Every structure is written in structure tokens, then in C-alpha cells.
Amino acid sequence: MDEQEIRDRLTTVEDPDLGDDLVSLGLVNDITIDDDTVSIDLALGAPYSPTETAIAESVREALADLDADVDLSASIDRGLEPHEQVLPNVTNIIAVASGKGGVGKSTIAVNLAAGLAELGADVGLFDADVYGPNVPRMLGSDERPEATPDEQIIPPEKHGLKLMSIDLLMGEDAPVIWRGPMVDKVLQQLWEDVQWGELDYMVVDLPPGTGDTQLTLLQTVPVAGAVIVTTPQEVALDDARKGLEMFGKHETPVLGIVENMSTFKCPDCGSEHAIFGEGGGEAFAEEMSMPFLGQIPLDPAIREQGDGGEPIVFEDGETADAFRSFVEKTANNQGFLNRRRATEQ
């Protein structure tokens, strides 16, 4: 058994999105053979995404008859310069954005983070919506962060997530009345002075619109991908288009469009009602040549679970299934972008 034999076997494992085998695509970073252990480092950058989990399983199957233990690891070179190494221990930073308020962006961000954690990933949730920080309530968290002797902030954990929000520092119901420069300073402190540790994903809940907070994030943090949240109605879609253009100007990949509040299913009669219009998000994604990440229904249970601090993605039922499908598509798209970038380096 030598390295070439291992590589030959890995040529039988294909990337379903990129349409070629791992070796030809350059997705095998390193192979080390030590006694009875074969260690393989793969250029997989979306931990616990269904596609990359399946790829890893295929690698194990290709080497199953070897008389050796197979140790798989994954690493992606983000191609960042030393001065760009903000949050170096976070593999993927995913921004959740909307062009306008009232479309359920924070609900989407919370359930995305919780869903990724449920898959098994190490996840942080950063509430960057400084003027409307309601993520702690949606997670049922009121624990104040602690500090280390060198004044590093230790984020509290809830539902398997590391959480940071200005709400946890200011206190409940305390209004944030700050001008832009102060907001920028506080945000930079919250992502630079927090001991996030090793994370597979950091989900950032941005405030609505295209203002100072969004620009600060995109100019200082290596965002790996963005999710645009909209409702089906035309007004929301007009604003979502502005958000999409903002990410384009900063060369930030958009993972896709998710349509929230798509339909309301009457609990009494079972009929569905398109209260905010129908199919607008999917049509918008097609128009802009963007992936469509799914439709989330207008379900009172989402509000009830959010008010109670229990993300609905943890529950059973059609609405929870819709969120889980959205989470998986988002993770898969992030993995595809990371792997495609690795093949181009």
C-alpha cells in the first residue's frame, strides 16, 4: 500500500456538483501513511453538509478493503492575506440579510444556526442587528457574557450555539441610540474580542437594509456566503434586489434566496392562502440566476417557538422540515462554492 494506490482509489470518488473525481479536481490536499493508518486531508469546507458527508462516506467505501485505519480531515485555503485573517478559526461566515425589515430575517438566521448545530456542526450566532437585537429572546438566552483576565469576552451558549448580541451586554429593553461610527467600533470589538473558538460556521444576523453595519462587515470580515431573505410580495423583492447588488459590489458570494411567509395553511379548514403573494421569491431567484433555497410557510408555530426560545427547526412537522431542507441546501451551496474555489487555486 502506497500513496499512489490510495490516489488511484480516490479517482473513483466523484464530486456530484463539480462533475469529476476528487484527484482530478485537486481536492486531495495530502495523503500520509503511518504504520496501519492512512490519513487523508480533503479540500472540503462545509462540515456536516449532506453532500460533503456523502463524499466522505464514498472515500471510506473506496478504501474499505484496505488493511488500515482511515483518518479523514478537511481543510480549505481561503486565500486570505495575513491582514485579512479576522476570525481565522471560523471556517465559514454566513451573513443573513434582507433588503427591508419585517420579512423574518432573524427567524431565518436563528433556525439556520440551530439547524447547522443539529447536523453536528460547531456554530456561532452573531446578532449584528444592533438596533433590534432580538436573537437572544428567540433562543431563550439571558445569560450575560463573562470576561477573561485579559478582557476577552466569553460568549454564552444555548441550544448548542455560541451566541453574541449587544442585547446581552446592554440589558433587556435598553435602547441603542448610537451613531454609525460607534456602531462600527462596537461590532468590530464583538467579533475580534470574543473567544469564539473553533467554529465550522458563524451565522451573522444583519440588520435590514444596506447601511453602515453591512458595509463594516463586508469590508472587515471574510464572509464566505450570504443568504437573502424575502417574502413573496413585490415590495420585499424590490428591496431584496438592493441587498443582492450590495453583496455583488463587494464580491461576496450569495448562497441563495429563501422565501419566508410563503403561504398560510389554515389550521381549521386545511386550505392554503397566499397572503403575501405567491412564488415571488422563486421567480426572483430565477430572474437573478441565483439558487432558490426554499419556501418557509407562514405558520403561527414559528412565532410561538421563537417567543418561547425554542427554534422550530428542532421540532417535527412540515414547517420544521421546510427549515431543515433550507439548512441543508445552504450548507451544500457553501460547500460547492468552497470546493470550486479550491479547484481554481
- Residue 38: CATH number of its domain: 3.30.300.130
pLDDT bucket at 84, cuts 50 / 70 / 90: low
pLDDT bucket at 177, cuts 50 / 70 / 90: very low
Closest C-alpha to 308, from 94, 175, 163, 110: 110
Task: Judge if 279 and 172 occupy the same domain.
Answer: yes
- Torsion angles phi and psi, residue 138, rounded to 5: -65, -20
Query: Does this model's pTM top 0.85?
Result: yes
163 vs 191, higher pLDDT: 163
Q: Which of 74, 102, 119 delimits the end of a domain? A: 74
Q: Which of 52, 74, 96 delimits the end of a domain? A: 74
Q: Which three cell numbers stand for residue 230?
A: 424575502
- Torsion angles phi and psi, residue 326, rounded to 5: -60, -45
Residue 237 lies in a domain: yes
Task: Judge if 147 and 64 occupy the same domain.
Answer: no
Residue type, 312: I
Task: Judge if 234 and 209 occupy the same domain.
Answer: yes
Give the residue-averaged pLDDT of 325-340: 97
Indicate the annotated binding residues for ATP: 99-106
Q: 46, exposed or middle or buried, with CB in 10 Å at 0-12, 13-18, 19+? A: buried
For 311-326, write each residue's pLDDT tens digit: 999 999 999 999 999 9
Task: Judge if 99 and 68 occupy the same domain.
Answer: no
Residue 81 lies in a domain: no
Task: Judge if 21 and 124 occupy the same domain.
Answer: no
Task: Judge if 7 and 114 occupy the same domain.
Answer: no
Give the residue-averaged pLDDT of 270-276: 71
Give the residue-averaged pLDDT of 96-106: 85
Task: Judge if 203 and 310 occupy the same domain.
Answer: yes
Domain count, the chain: 2
Which CATH number covers residue 155?
Answer: 3.40.50.300
pLDDT bucket at 216, cuts 50 / 70 / 90: confident
CA dihedral over 78, 83, 89, 90, signed as positive or negative: negative
Residue 332 lies in a domain: no
Distances (CA, A) of 256 to 10, 172, 286: 31, 33, 10
Task: Judge if 96 and 185 occupy the same domain.
Answer: yes
Model pLDDT, residue 259: 93
Task: Judge if 207 and 289 occupy the same domain.
Answer: yes
Indicate the annotated binding residues: 99-106
- Torsion angles phi and psi, residue 224, rounded to 5: -85, -30
Residues spanned by the domain of 241? 86-324
Report the chain's C-alpha Rg in angstroms: 21
Model pLDDT, residue 288: 87
For 38-71, write each residue's pLDDT tens digit: 999 999 999 999 999 999 999 999 999 888 899 9
Task: Judge if 143 and 288 occupy the same domain.
Answer: yes
Task: Judge if 68 and 91 occupy the same domain.
Answer: no
Whether the per-residue pLDDT at 83 is higher than 60: the answer is no
Model pLDDT, residue 250: 77
Q: For the chain, give the mean pLDDT.
A: 87
